[in-house]
Every structure is written in structure tokens, then in C-alpha cells.
Amino acid sequence: MQDQTTPALPLNALKVLVVDDDSFQLALMTDILTVLGVSDITTASSGALALENLRDPSQRFNRILLDLHMPGMDGFQFMEAAAQAGFDGGLIIVSGQSEEVLQAASLVARLRRFSLLGAVAKPIGTTALSQVINGL
């Protein structure tokens, strides 16, 4: 499930926003990104906090790793808000939901004109994330 319209950048040049309500998952994804060579990582424990970061004019994210199942603003609602905020980087959906839900989320992302780099099932691993972080 990949859409390779976002240009590849050196991993150390990426600015990544990781959105997940689970602190363990936030730490795990941050650790994996760091191992892959990404150094500019911002985490948000809710869709609302992520949206605040996205709307901050001093922030310019190239990639968002997005969990779907979160209280308050879920991943689907966040995608709608991020599209309205003008996010034009690459999106990676990360979820423990079923394959059908991942496919539905991927369709929603494409309909919102996101550059969808992939949908990865949890628990996420280094290999899976390295394959999608630059749309490879």
C-alpha cells in the first residue's frame, strides 16, 4: 500500500511527527526512527496535540506516523484536520487494527490527497518502518 509521490530525502534531513496515544508505542517508534538515522522527531500523545504541532508555523514536517485508534480525535479525524491545515508531506499509518481497517484508512488518506507512504501493522519493526519511511 504505497503511493510514491513524496520525494525521498536523506533520513537525517527528515522532520517527523509521531502521533500515538500509547507512550510505549511513541517511545518504540522514536527509537526505531533514531536507529534509522532520523534525528528531528516530535511526538504527540493525541490528535489534538499533533494538530497544534502541525499548525505551528515554525514546524514543517516531512513525515507523519499516525495511529488510527486514539481517544478524542482518532486518526481518521486527524487526517481530515491535517488536510485542512495543508499538510503536504508523507503519511504513514501505523495501527494494530485489522487489515480491512488499514485498507480503509489508506483509501481515506488517498481521497484526502495525502502522499501515503504506507500502512504498517503494529507491533512495528525496524524493517517495516525503514521500507516505508521514504516510500521505498
Given a cut of 80, whether residue 53 has pLDDT beyond it is yes
User: Mean pLDDT: which of 16-30, 83-97, 112-126 is highest?
Assistant: 16-30
pTM of the model: 0.90
Contact 35, 126 (CB under 8 A): yes
Q: Which of 80, 52, 47, 83 minimizes the C-alpha distance to 65?
A: 47
Helix (H/G/I), strand (E/B), else coil: 31: helix
Given a cut of 80, whether residue 134 has pLDDT beyond it is no
Q: Where are the domains of the chain?
A: 12-132
Given a cut of 50, whether residue 61 has pLDDT beyond it is yes
Q: HSE on the CB side for 55, CA within 13 Å?
A: 11
Instruction: Tell me the C-alpha distance between 106 and 93, whole Å.
Output: 8
Instruction: Tell me the C-alpha distance between 4 and 115, whole Å.
Output: 7
- What class, spelled out in words, does domain 12-132 have in CATH? alpha beta
Confidence of residue 9 (pLDDT cuts 50, 70, 90): confident
Average pLDDT score over residue span 63-91 = 93
- DSSP line for 60-101: --SEEEEES--SSS-HHHHHHHHHHTT--SEEEEEESS-HHH
Given a cut of 80, whether residue 108 has pLDDT beyond it is yes
pLDDT score recorded for residue 48 = 96
Q: Which of 136, 77, 78, 87 minimizes the C-alpha distance to 113?
A: 87
